[in-house]
Amino acid sequence: MVNLEPEAMQTGWRGRAAALSWDGRPLIGGTRREGTGAMAIWSPVHGGLLYEAALCSADMVDQAVVDAHRACERGVWSDLSPRARGMILLRLAELIVENHEELALRDTLEMGKPIASALVDIRDLAPTLCRHYAEAADKIYGDVAGSDAASLAFSLREPRGVVAAIAPWNYPLPNAVIKVMPALAVGNCVVLKPSELTPGSALRLGELALEAGVPPGVLNVIPGDGVTTGAALARHPLVDMVTFTGSTQAGRAIMATASQSRIRPVILECGGKSPQIVFADAPASDLVAPRILGEAFANQGQLCVARSRLLVHASRKADLMAALEREVRQYAVGDPLEPATTFGPLAGQRQCERVLGHIAGALRDGARMVAGGPVDRPCGVAPTILDDVSQGMAIVRDEVFGPVLTVQSFESTEEAIGLANGSSYGLAATVWTAHYPTAQTLVRRLKTGHVTVNGTVESYEGPGMSLAGEPRGDSGFGSETGLDSLRSYTAIKGVVLAGGPCRSADR
């Protein structure tokens, strides 16, 4: 549970929301620019219009990329020492902390997550990520290769240049940080396109970066949609690398678009359908049930690594289902601006209809709803548990990206592995067992980028922030954390200094 600041408790989030001002203009070359299309930003909190943000045209995208390219060419950022860049990004982390209430409120109003969760995202997660990359800035370097006595052979890690970063809406600020910071830490310039649902905190991140000392033009933020703004950005010939987080469908399109004007590297962090596997010897059901639900329903289930498929050993199923039914009633579904709310609305009406469509389809296919379904609030869907599902059903196969947990049972370890791997996605998995060899087997054989044993996402984020994990299958490729993520934003240059004989001929 989050300890809210006394000031926030007293003021009331609704009052603060009403007083908040919005500026949806793009941030290019260190200033807010005028003169582009408009995009309505609706709030799932009350269903009303929050403000109008820019919908950046191809011309505006061009201005942002050209500015970033110019900053690259002038070396205003890449020529700084890695340590100096890291210090500026550490200052940015502190500015995020100083402004966390305002940033959290923006994310809540734009995508509906409970303010208590948004505060944790912005006060803890985003600055932790920011510091992680900032502190790694001077730990990325090349190698010295073995060579003959007359030469020196080594590799340099150079920034790639202009990085186009395209982000989703589910964790607006943390996702922007995950994209932008590793690229900046190693000396790139960035053009960030946040989701059309949630540009608010990303635009503020751009302003805070300037305040921290990031030179103008090094981080540009352009609001807009996917087909106009995102596609123009991914296609732009002066972009040297594209990093994308979002749906597999958009990932496919971006991969194709990014290769249209020239060849360049792409990172894709896409959708998931991750399993959590409970073996017969897992901890007591009352202990694991809240964690299982937490892994499925965090952020209203709008989490790429949501463990949305529960696979439970047949001998444990009845007991665990009873515990899950008890536990799911503990969610406080309601107004996200109330600090006591633990489960808010989905990110918008379209998202809500999409998720309810998945649930209705599952029920038609024969699934049984143990808990959940629609809630009589704007964009409301309660944490939903579906039993009597089978591997071939769409609800088990397709990413819902909402609060839906399906339940299947298994008899043997082989069957569990088969069910877990029976997905086109490969993002993450959780295993609950007291048997070390079983855990080992699963860790080796699950086709996912991350595996957590007897733990939750929180256990991963503590010691694991520096761990990289690369998605498999339709979940994409490239890693988002750890030193590997910074390396992927660099290009290796092999250098040989062929200095000639190093001993005189008369030795």
Taking CB under 6 A as the rule, which mask of x and - marks residues 191-210 in contact with ligand NAD? --x-xx--------------
Q: What are phi and psi of 111, to 5 degrees?
A: -125, 5
> What's the min distance (Å) between Cβ of 235 and ligand NAD?
9
How many angstroms separate the CA atoms of 41 and 26, rounded? Answer: 15
**Judged by CB under 6 A, which stretch of 56-64, 151-159, 224-232, 259-267 contacts ligand NAD?**
224-232
> What's the min distance (Å) between Cβ of 179 and ligand NAD?
10
List binders of ligand NAD among 427-466 (CB under 6 A): 427
Q: How many helices (H) and strands (E) does the chain have?
A: 19, 22
Is residue 297 within the footprint of ligand NAD (CB under 6 A)? no
Q: Which amino acid is at 459?
A: S
> What's the min distance (Å) between Cβ of 485 and ligand NAD?
11
How many angstroms separate the CA atoms of 25 and 345, rounded? Answer: 27
Is residue 484 within the footprint of ligand NAD (CB under 6 A)? no
> What's the min distance (Å) between Cβ of 50 and ligand NAD?
17
Is residue 253 within the footprint of ligand NAD (CB under 6 A)? yes
Residue number with CB closer to ligand NAD (88 or 420): 420
DSSP state string for 444-502: HH--SSEEEES--HHHHHHHHTT-----EETTEES-SSHHHHHHHTEEEEEEEEE---S
| From 56, 72, 270, 304, the catalytic residue | 304
Residue number with CB closer to ligand NAD (62 or 388): 62
Is residue 226 within the footprint of ligand NAD (CB under 6 A)? yes
Taking CB under 6 A as the rule, which mask of x and - marks residues 145-184 in contact with ligand NAD? ---------------------xxxxx--------------
> What's the min distance (Å) between Cβ of 437 and ligand NAD?
30
> What's the min distance (Å) between Cβ of 225 and ligand NAD?
5
Q: Is 43 helix (H, G, I), strand (E, B) or coil?
A: coil
Do 150 and 503 form a contact (C-beta atoms < 8 A)? no
Do 471 and 270 form a contact (C-beta atoms < 8 A)? yes
Tell me the β-bridge partners of 369.
386
Q: How many CB atoms lie within 10 A of CB 63?
A: 20
List binders of ligand NAD among 390-429 (CB under 6 A): 399, 401, 427
End-to-end CA distance of the chain: 75
Is residue 304 within the footprint of ligand NAD (CB under 6 A)? yes
List binders of ligand NAD among 85-114 (CB under 6 A): none
The yes-or-no answer on residue 379 being catalytic is: no
Residue number with CB closer to ligand NAD (233 or 321): 233
List binders of ligand NAD among 254-273 (CB under 6 A): 254, 257, 269-272
> What's the min distance (Å) between Cβ of 244 and ligand NAD?
6
Q: Is 5 helix (H, G, I), strand (E, B) or coil?
A: coil
Do 451 and 439 form a contact (C-beta atoms < 8 A)? no
> What's the min distance (Å) between Cβ of 125 and ligand NAD?
13
How many angstroms separate the CA atoms of 193 and 332, rounded? Answer: 33
The yes-or-no answer on residue 269 being catalytic is: yes
**Judged by CB under 6 A, which stretch of 41-49, 124-132, 246-254, 361-369 contacts ligand NAD?**
246-254
Residue number with CB closer to ligand NAD (78 or 170): 170
Q: Is 408 helix (H, G, I), strand (E, B) or coil?
A: strand
Is residue 481 within the footprint of ligand NAD (CB under 6 A)? no
Beta strands in 119-249 (DSSP E): 144-145, 151-159, 162-166, 189-193, 219-221, 241-245
Select from 245, 285, 433, 438 the one that contacts ligand NAD (CB under 6 A): 245
Do 139 and 317 form a contact (C-beta atoms < 8 A)? no
| From 101, 110, 196, 269, the catalytic residue | 269
Is residue 225 within the footprint of ligand NAD (CB under 6 A)? yes
For 233, the enclosing helix (H) or strand (E) is: helix 231-235
Q: What are phi and psi of 165, to 5 degrees?
A: -115, 125
Residue number with CB closer to ligand NAD (41 or 270): 270
Do 56 and 224 form a contact (C-beta atoms < 8 A)? yes
How many angstroms separate the CA atoms of 501 and 503, rounded? Answer: 6
Residue number with CB closer to ligand NAD (227 or 497): 227
Select from 65, 68, 231, 407 the one that contacts ligand NAD (CB under 6 A): 231
Residue number with CB closer to ligand NAD (101 or 480): 480
Torsion angle in degrees (nearest 10) through CA of 184, 189, 195, 200? 80
Is residue 77 within the footprint of ligand NAD (CB under 6 A)? no
Q: Which of 55, 27, 28 is closest to 41 using CA atoms?
A: 55
Residue number with CB closer to ligand NAD (387 or 399): 399
> What's the min distance (Å) between Cβ of 350 and ligand NAD?
10
Q: Write down the H helix ranges in 283-316.
A: 285-297
Q: With CB under 6 A as the rule, give the number of residues binding ligand NAD.
A: 31
How many angstroms separate the CA atoms of 323 and 287, rounded? Answer: 9
Catalytic residues: 269, 304
Residues that bind ligand NAD (CB under 6 A): 166-170, 193, 195-196, 225-227, 230-231, 234, 245-247, 250, 253-254, 257, 269-272, 304, 399, 401, 427, 471, 475
